[in-house]
Amino acid sequence: MKFLEFFRGMPQVFVQEFMGNLKSVRFVIMALVAALVIVGGAFGISGFIGGFTGTPPLVVWGHPATDAASGEHIAVAWVADPFGGPLADRTVTFGDVLNGTTIGTVSTDGAGFARLNVGSISSVSAGVRLGTFESNTGIAWEFLPPFNFTVLSSQSDLDGDGAFDDLSLHALNLTGDLVPGTVRVNGTVAGNLDSRGFILLELPPGVSNVSLVIGGEAYEITAYVPEDRGAAFLSGPDFVLLLISAFSSLIVSIFAIVISFDAVSKERIQGTMDLLLSRPASRTGVLLGKFLASFAAVAVPVTLVNLAGIAAISAASGRGPTGSFAAAFVGYSLLLIVYYVLLQLALSTLAKTSGTAVLFGIIIWLLLNILYNIVTFVLAALLSAGDPAAQFRIAQYAALGNPSGIVSALISLAAPSGLTPIGGTALDAVTLGAGAVIWLVFLLVLALWVFEKKAAA
């Protein structure tokens, strides 16, 4: 019975408080702000990273062809996105390279092709503009290959994984028409040209012998993908998620404070605290009900927004973050909400007015998210005596004194190893786990104790 007494009244307080939070204007505003920062940031940063790694919005593939009847030159341009999606109704400008003059403009058809008879001109340029971006290619008849087809290739990093392992091939026959073709990588069939003469391959690390076979003739190239991806952490969905986690922690902590700053103080101001405590509910039950209500009011929208942010990264990058890292990001965001709601409930109990409760919330947020980091950085620099490694370790262990720092370190620990140059931590899982549990127990006991002593004061 004593165990049940501990939770008496919790469900009723939870329902009342939770519904009140959902109806508040501040809940709607904070949910919108969180969505704007996290989801918008995911799209924006993913787009920036895509631009950083050199992925263009469109590519022009140019082929020299010859009219079978007249023998005149036909300039063929295929316009597509980097992944082989054809772009229709794009204006292609063909020019005479030697004279520097424009020959004509042609709009691409539904399959992304534009063709222009250029007579006897032997060197042509083809370009497409998209806003301020322009993609150009050269088309020359002087260097026709010793095959019955022409083929263009491009090796790049299209998926943002830090490795230039994406090989694109596009081929047409010498009259500019589509032909079937098979591609082999190191002797193994890797795929066939699609209905537009295109194929995109992901090559393994090391040297790859790539051959395109059309009509019994083989075009062969050697491609190399470094084993070491180098600065792979500077691109890709995991890197974007790591950046988003930094913004998210700031927004989530503010969200938790905004929702729970007056969870207790408003009862005192409205004169309903004594009535609430006089009901058949224990003080621990009342506080736990308020905690769960505030936690749920923040956790539900934050989790949905975080999942939407991960989906936005996946949509913008073409692939999602590492599953375990994404799960850790979502889970540790919930832990951060627990910390700040418990801390703010204790401060709300101590506050005499809503203004004081707001002030307490602002001060604690500045202390934990800005001032604490500045102070520990200065102290680490002083105590390390100029040793960068020692300074890093001191700063990392100082994070244990800050719940926000612990969550940030836990996310860094969960990040893929390729991100360690920017997201590493000197703390092991046992140390961080112990610190996380200690903070959880401390804040829960603190909130319960303060409410027990000061709620009716």
- Lowest-pLDDT choice from 30-44, 66-80, 99-113: 30-44
Q: List, in order, residues 6 or more apart from 165 with CB less than 8 Å away.
A: 155, 157, 202, 203, 204, 205, 225
Q: What is the pLDDT of residues 340-355, one digit of tens each?
A: 999 999 998 888 887 8
Better pLDDT: 193 or 134:
193
Contact present, 263 and 296 (Cβ < 8 Å): no
- Tell me the per-residue pLDDT of 43-57, one tens digit each, with 9 for 90 and over: 776 655 544 445 678
Predicted confidence at residue 196, as pLDDT, reads 96
**pLDDT > 60? residue 255:** yes
Tell me the helix, strand and coil percentages in the chain, rounded to 5: 50, 20, 25
- List of residues 6+ apart from 248 with CB closer than 8 A: 37, 38, 306, 309, 329, 333
CATH 2.60.40.1120 residue spans of the chain? 59-225
The band of 177, judged by pLDDT with boundaries at 50, 70 and 90, is: very high
CATH architecture of 59-225: Sandwich (2.60)
Asked whether 197 and 149 are in contact (CB, 8 A), the reply is no
Task: Say yes or no to pLDDT of 387 above 80.
Answer: no
238 is written with which tokens? Answer: 């995991």
Rounded to two decimals, the pTM is 0.63
Task: Return the pLDDT at 132.
Answer: 72
Closest CA to 416 of 317, 331, 328, 318: 328
Collapsed DSSP state (helix, strand, coil) of residue 221: strand
Distance CA 55, CA 81 (A): 10
Residue 418 has pLDDT above 70, yes or no: no
Q: Cβ atoms within 10 A of the Cβ of 107, count? A: 11
DSSP 402: -
**Distance from C-alpha of 247 to C-alpha of 253, rounded to nearest angstrom:** 10
Neighbours of 362 (CB within 10 A): 13
State yes or no: pLDDT of 161 exceeds 70: no
DSSP per residue, 113-161: EEEEEEET--EEEEEEEETTEEEEEEEESTT--SSSEEEEEEEE--S-S
Task: Give the residue with greater pLDDT, 22 vs 440.
Answer: 440
